[in-house]
Structure 1
Amino acid sequence: MKNTFSKETAILIFANSAVAETRHKKTVANLDLFRALNERAVKTAKASALPYFHFTEKEQQGTTFGERFSNAIQAIYDKGYKNVITIGNDSPQLKASHIIEAEKQLQLGKTVLGPSSDGGFYLMGLHHSNFDPTLFLRLPWQRFGLFNKISQLFESYDSHLYRLPVLHDIDTVADIRTLLNFSKTVGSSILKILDSFIKRSVRIVSKNVQILQHHFTSLHFNKGSPVLMQFS
């Protein structure tokens, strides 16, 4: 889909490298997965025909997530852009059409949020006039209820908020299982990795259950006494 809007808007891909992601998201730590997610995020940004900037941990500045995110947004504004559309790498359902729609609404003077199913957001479209770094730092970043809080903040600016469709992101194994139920909205290469990840997880759980069963059957229980067990 070709984007015919002016180049007042830039995309900020705020996503760590695959290596860093495996350290932060241990329950879904898979190097191939995060490499594929980063590649998809960049490919999606390119397909929108908007200029984009990828801020990994090397480009990010600040101690907290809120500081790093706010500083990255400000860095795009400092380049002369009036609008910034932020995306991450953990929403494989995100398409270029979502980004193009976000820019369309920005051109109409609206603020844009793409809610994720866990209470956060996968996309934010923001005009420079509605960006207050001080207030941004106070938001409950990486916590439940973020979408509601940031929605309230934008509404306090008397800015009309446009909501994109709800998408699923990847933070836990449960998220991966959920996405497998929406296979038509996920790229085939990522879908293959997700499917492989779940099958491997099932094998590991099955093996651990067998070990635990063997451990329990080998114990001599004293009736009426609690059994306290510690597993390393």
Structure 2
Amino acid sequence: MADVKPKKILVVDDESDVSALVAYSLKAKGFEVAVVNDPNASIGTARTFLPDLVILDVMMPDLNGIQICRMLRADPKLKKVPVIFLTAKAEENDRVQGLETGADDYICKPFSTKELVLRVQTILRRLSEGAPEEPKRLQVGEIVVDTERHEVQIHGQPVELTATEFNLLKLLMERRGRVQTREHLLLNVWNYETEIETRTVDTHVRRLREKLGTEADWIETIRGVGYRMAEKRAQEA
């Protein structure tokens, strides 16, 4: 029998009216929701609640969302939990900073609860979907991806990637040698069919390259189009 346990969502926002609205919308779709209005209690609650996804405000007193996201990414039990920033900080630099911190998505206030729920469902579906026929181990150069264990190694050493970074790397490796447009990546990694900032793709690719270190040059930029996992490294071509 399939596991029917509801997915758990942690909502952290110092505005109680906003968190109540988000919680109501998510509970109506069958999610189990925990709400934290005091940012100082967010990490403790996350460690006991063990959410499947966190919705996080950015501008909060004492401890802001960027700091909380970094703390989540540093916690062994929480580092792979997807994070959606929900914030009034709508400037491009703010969005980029949020994504660079390790967030998987960024939604600006005022927001549509319907869109928020769809984004939550999209991220969780992407993580839960399995493809039994796909190879469990992918390798390009010294990059080794274990799709079953959701692990990445570079030169035999483990590398920590967010869920989005992992899916981006996996897709590029599976389609090695083929150019992936930014729009195609948005659809297949983020599951976004609507037009959003393609800067999202560029930011994640840059973060991924930084984590790949000496193997970063396997990911080629196709100017004006997108990205490709190279067939051969530049020095070997």
Higher relative contact order (CA 8 A, sep 6+): 1
Q: TM-score, normalized by length of structure 2?
A: 0.33
Q: When you count helix as a share of all residues, which structure comes out higher?
A: 1
Higher strand share: 2
TM normalised by structure 1 equals 0.33
